[in-house]
Amino acid sequence: EAGVTQFPSHSVIEKGQTVTLRCDPISGHDNLYWYRRVMGKEIKFLLHFVKESKQDESGMPNNRFLAERTGGTYSTLKVQPAELEDSGVYFCASSQEGTSGRAAYNEQFFGPGTRLTVL
C-alpha cells in the first residue's frame, strides 16, 4: 500500500512568487492534516480536513495560505505571495475515520515533507 506522498520534495522560489504544494493521502483516509516546521522551531499544525471539508484551520498563519482538498482526495497548499518567513518543511499526514471523536486516537501517517526555501 502506498504511503502519503508529497510533491515537490524541494522548492526554491523568490519572495513574492507563488508556490503550490501537493499531498496525496493514503487511499481511504478521511482525515488529512498539514503541518509546518520552521527552522529551529517545533512542528506546528496548520489545518485539518475531513474529506473535503476544513475541520480546523486555526493554525494557518495568514490569508496568504490557501488549502484545498478536491473531492476529498488529494490536497494542495498554496502560498501567495511567498515571504521569507514561509521557509520551512511542510508535512502532510492522513488518518482513518471520519468521525472527529475518534480522530484523536488514530495514528497519523506522515509524508516525507516538502522543503520550501523562499529567497
Partner 1 sequence: AQSVTQLDSHVSVSEGTPVLLRCNYSSSYSPSLFWYVQHPNKGLQLLLKYTSAATLVKGINGFEAEFKKSETSFHLTKPSAHMSDAAEYFCVVSDRAGNTGKLIFGQGTTLQVKP
Instruction: Note the residues at the interface with partner 1 (CB under 8 A).
Output: 3-4, 31, 33, 35, 41-45, 48, 55-56, 59, 91, 93, 95, 100-101, 103-113
* Gap between the Cα atoms of 44 and 46, Å rounded: 6
CB 3 within 8 A of CB 111: yes
* Cα separation of the two ends of the chain: 37
CB of 105 vs partner 1, minimal distance in Å = 5
CB of 58 vs partner 1, minimal distance in Å = 8
CB of 90 vs partner 1, minimal distance in Å = 12
What is the SS3 assignment for 20? strand
Dihedral sign from CA coordinates of 86, 108, 2, 76: negative
If the CB atoms of residues 41 and 63 are measured against partner 1, the closer one turns out to be 41
If the CB atoms of residues 30 and 86 are measured against partner 1, the closer one turns out to be 30
